[in-house]
Structure 1
């Protein structure tokens, strides 16, 4: 039996793997940070034997409540990821699986590899609707990619979408894949109409260094990018620095920042109600956006989510709040679950890559519903 995490987004430390029914593991912390929760590893073992893996430091992870009612994902072919029996006793996360083949991958959520990210960028670039912009380099020297969809014009409304500030939230880039798939479909009427009057600026992965390193929440030097939007720096948060610089050049009329939530088993939006500029027009647009999503997909709901900030109480280091205030625009943080959508559970797959991508496509309808009124 052998366990490895020496690959893109791999994260696990082997404490004891001498017995297949008592494998002891630990999740490695983000570099220069105390955050940890993401895991991704490969196990070689005996076909037909049950393997019991105990992640012994789960109880001290960044979001220990996230392990409650959670099931890990596994895959033999790295295409289909299914849920496997998982339990948590307050300290240790135990994963059980009987091998059907000689090796299997396990992960916190379906990974979105850096190789797939590069494929997504280059595939989108093939469209005549897309301009691929290199914004700069990360601290590890990786590309910061921006996709501009539509013909830029001062008269057109500017829709910005960023994803995966927290690299372990891989569902965010699956969401982007679904959004781009619909937006670049020349037979989709809503997409075609939107691009007559709007331009989309999409950053599919805000944190490529953390993604490759197997981090949960931070970049190469342990910075939580979603707390850097008031004063980003090239030394600690070049990813935010470059994106905010590009936003300043284009302006922003609507901003969506795509995330995953460890604890809540729902899809939901967190708005910018607490920023100083928020007014009745923002509230009206926000309600229309939510009502549209509620009407078209049972995957979205508004009963469960984060506590709404009081007037003037927003944390302006957070992306959606910072952008809303800086550009006096509508902005949301969209959250998806690591567990499942409790309102529409799927025992075999839980919340998944495919469902994330479908939600990305569906959100385009909500954008369409508010686009014409973003500058009212």
Structure 2
């Protein structure tokens, strides 16, 4: 029986190069008008009972090839449970296997006729629409459409709470970092529960679950429909290049910002960590100490966070103000945080079957807000 490869769906990305027996050669498609690529998501029909080997031939030229060593591809036969499968990287080629049925430990049997593979468990625009509908219907939630993307998609925002402090949570500036919207799902479920009452009395929380709907639908790694990296637009966003950033930043100008969290995924570091705003001209020791305290409290709160690994800090006065975390710290005097989650696993407490997963991403969203609730009075 023959099999077929297809990525012509919401968030899909792959190009078939050739099939030789049970070996499939592929390439990841670049973001539109950009050289960035790394995100892949495709399905294989007719896979039942076949052991297949897939080779992504252009992996070595991807945006972050140093992220491939130690990485494990995600696979699913139901698009709900995303297990890891054996993956190797050598000589610029990423290679992974489908064992002929169940991905490691999956309850699915070899009778499964279709299997999906992805860089990380996808969070598509259809899933986003379901999330928006579900959260908007809950008591106390105010929904706004802040603007539209270059492709005309809505930039959705939820306003929750009545407190005087202003908190902004936003995710998926880089659309291939799908764990960021899984984090948002956990955060929004918590924010609409009774547990959030103390935080919502102290603060109004503004949530933008997806900053880059065009890149999400198109299957991009890092850019919008114009090939623009939104997290380099915050100093001077324009309607022509980055309307997504412009409408969000305009809304922030109306409310001010006391605390902000920009949610991302990191290709190389096998851990959850935060990055801050050390190099902004307006940096103060008080705000710096609050940033450090947030990380320390989060590490004490959950084993799925740590503070030993992370990015190199900017030197004083050398922060890149085109990046949102730095721009918001400088513009509003905010305690501004970038959260990074891994495409690999959180190696301090790894999961061999699932690695870092949607479920763990959602739980980390809850943990972050529980810590913020404890600290909101000091911000």
* TM-score class normalised by the smaller sequence: over 0.9
The reply to whether residue 60 of structure 1 matches residue 46 of structure 2 is no
1:285 to 273, 290, 296: 290
For 2:160, the equivalent position in structure 1 comes to 149
The reply to whether residue 160 of structure 1 matches residue 171 of structure 2 is no
Which stretches in structure 2 are left out of the alignment for 5+ residues? Answer: 102-111
SS at match of 2:49: coil
- The total of aligned residue pairs comes to 367
Matches within 5 A, 1:12-161: 12-20=14-22, 22-100=23-101, 101-151=112-162, 156-161=164-169
The reply to whether residue 215 of structure 1 matches residue 225 of structure 2 is no
Q: 1:134 to 1:18 in 2, by over 3 A?
A: same
2:182 to 174, 180, 197: 174
CA RMSD of aligned residues (A): 0.9
Measured after TM superposition, the shift of residue 147 of structure 1 is 0.5
Measured after TM superposition, the shift of residue 339 of structure 1 is 0.4
- Counterparts of 2:371 and 2:166, CA distance in 1: 15
Misfit runs of 4+, over 4 Å: none
* Cα displacement string for residues 145-198 of structure 1 (whole angstroms, at most 9, x for unaligned residues): 0100113x6xx0000011000000000000010111111112x1xx11111110
Measured after TM superposition, the shift of residue 98 of structure 1 is 2.0
- Counterparts of 1:273 and 1:122, CA distance in 2: 38
Of 280-289 and 321-330, deviating more is 280-289
Measured after TM superposition, the shift of residue 18 of structure 1 is 4.3
Contact 1:290 1:366 in 2 (8 A): no
Contact 2:296 2:307 in 1 (8 A): no
Measured after TM superposition, the shift of residue 213 of structure 1 is 0.1
Measured after TM superposition, the shift of residue 116 of structure 1 is 1.1
SS at match of 2:291: helix
Give the TM-score normalised by the residue count of structure 1. 0.96
Q: 1:25 to 1:314 in 2, by over 3 A?
A: same
* Cα displacement string for residues 119-168 of structure 1 (whole angstroms, at most 9, x for unaligned residues): 111111112211000111111110010100113x6xx0000011000000
Measured after TM superposition, the shift of residue 47 of structure 1 is 2.1
2:258 to 253, 257, 276: 253
- Counterparts of 1:24 and 1:171, CA distance in 2: 27
Contact 2:47 2:115 in 1 (8 A): no
Which stretches in structure 1 are left out of the alignment for 5+ residues? Answer: none
SS at match of 2:115: strand
The reply to whether residue 224 of structure 1 matches residue 229 of structure 2 is yes
Give the TM-score normalised by the residue count of structure 2. 0.95
